[in-house]
A and B are shown apart, each in its own frame.
Chain A
């Protein structure tokens, strides 16, 4: 299994509070991604990173920000959590390039009350 961990694995928070989710990899892969998964929507890309301090938006980036100060860590921040951000969040990594494979972390279940 690829060395990807996510923390916390579960979190309950209240509307309006800031939340930060962490993704940590030990594979030294260049690319890192944050997805959210909701019933009926599949996996939707929030943000991704193609290098340290290099990030870009995905399909559903509103209300989220990211940071990557080290190759191994990719942080997802909800500045002011809303109930619509209740979801399962997956981090993924890949080396990029032709024939690249994306590996997913175990996920974080976030409940915003």
Chain B
């Protein structure tokens, strides 16, 4: 049931764009995105709901393809502060439990 994230890691230079993908083997009703910096707790970025409603971060966007059971997180004109590990989470059984992927490590170089 664990969603699969790709890539596992990515290195960018400041100002470049990044895309992080999340796919599920089960139907998606919601996708949650979090970012975690080293030694800190995960922090909520965004939630995408079935039907297209999106709630979350002002400088990061995401898409949600219900048919393909996929979501993608878009970070445009990346900043040094974007470095960290990004996790997607799904709630496949619609019981208010998030199952997280293994994460994507993003490193931004100056």
User: In the complex, which residues 11-41 of chain B have their Cβ closer than 8 Å to any Cβ of chain A?
Assistant: 30, 32, 40-41
User: How many of chain A's residues touch chain B, expressed as a range?
Assistant: 20 to 34
B49 adjacent to A58 (CB under 8 Å): no
Q: How large is the interface on B (under 10, 10 to 19, 20 to 34, 35 or more residues)?
A: 20 to 34
Nearest CB in chain B to that of A58: its residue: B97
Q: Counting CB contacts under 8 A, is A64 at the interface?
A: no
Please name all residues of chain A whose beta carbon is closer than 8 Å to the beta carbon of B77 when the two chains form the complex. Answer: none
Complex CA distance for A33 and B98, rounded to whole angstroms: 10
Cβ of A96: which chain B residues have Cβ within 8 Å of it?
96
A100 to B98, CA, bound (A): 11
Do A94 and B102 touch (CB < 8 A)?
no
Contact A43 B97 (CB under 8 A): no
Cβ B47 vs Cβ A101 within 8 A: yes
From residue 1 to 54 of chain A, which have CB atoms closer than 8 A to chain B? 31, 33, 35, 40-45, 48, 50
Q: A43-B87, A98-B49 are in contact. Are A103 and B100 (CB under 8 A)?
A: no
Q: Is the CB of B44 within 8 A of A42?
A: no
Give the docked Cα–Cα distance between A105 and B42 (Å): 9
- B97 and A33 within 8 A (CB): yes
Contacts A102-B32, A105-B41, A106-B41; A48 near B100 (Cβ below 8 A): no
Q: Are B42 and A43 in contact (CB under 8 A)?
A: yes
A104: B residues at CB distance < 8 A: 41-43
Q: Chain A residue with minimal CB distance to B29?
A: A98
CA–CA, A104 to B44, complex, Å? 9
> In this complex, what residue of B is CB-closest to A100?
B96
B residues near A (Cβ < 8 Å) are: 1-2, 30, 32, 40-44, 47, 49, 53, 55, 87, 89, 96-103
Ordered nearest first, which 8 A-B pairs have the shortest CB separation? A42-B102, A104-B41, A43-B100, A96-B96, A42-B103, A104-B42, A42-B100, A101-B44
